[in-house]
Amino acid sequence: MLDPTTKTNRAMIIAPLDPSGEQVRDAVRQVLQELGMEVFRADTLQVGSNLTYEIINAIESSDLIIADVSKQNPNVFYELGFAHALRKPTLLMTSQEGLSRVPTDLSSNHYLIYDLSNLSDFQNTLKRMIQRNLVTA
């Protein structure tokens, strides 16, 4: 659970690293930083010899996980599964098109749906959800 008394909460953005998702990843990062959170993303980690180890450490040290499941990316599902096993507060997001492809095991979750043509509404909703601790563990 996010702790407002903590000086810095940490968040991990789990998303495919393809260039088409950069706009959404940046939108999420902006909101998290506005809320004073330290943000981890696989593409910004200081990687030594083992990227998987670095990602696992980032997930373990995070207070919030935000995962984009719109592309059915196996790496995203692997990292999300690890976060769920640790019972990390998790917020799932997807594009409208991706919502129809959500796997059965994740279909009962609530999703924050984004539209690339209107990321400001998405950012406002994301900010409200985090501020109200509307994430699941």
Q: What percent of the chain has pLDDT over 90?
A: 59
Query: pTM (2 decimals)?
Result: 0.86
pLDDT band at residue 110 using 50, 70 and 90 as cut-offs: confident
Quick one: how far is CA 23 from the chain centroid?
14
Helix, strand or coil, per DSSP, at residue 59 = helix
CB atoms within 10 A of CB 38: 15
pLDDT band at residue 135 using 50, 70 and 90 as cut-offs: low
pLDDT tens, residue by residue, 52-94: 888 999 999 999 999 999 999 999 999 999 999 999 999 999 9
Name the CATH topology of 10-131.
Answer: Rossmann fold (3.40.50)
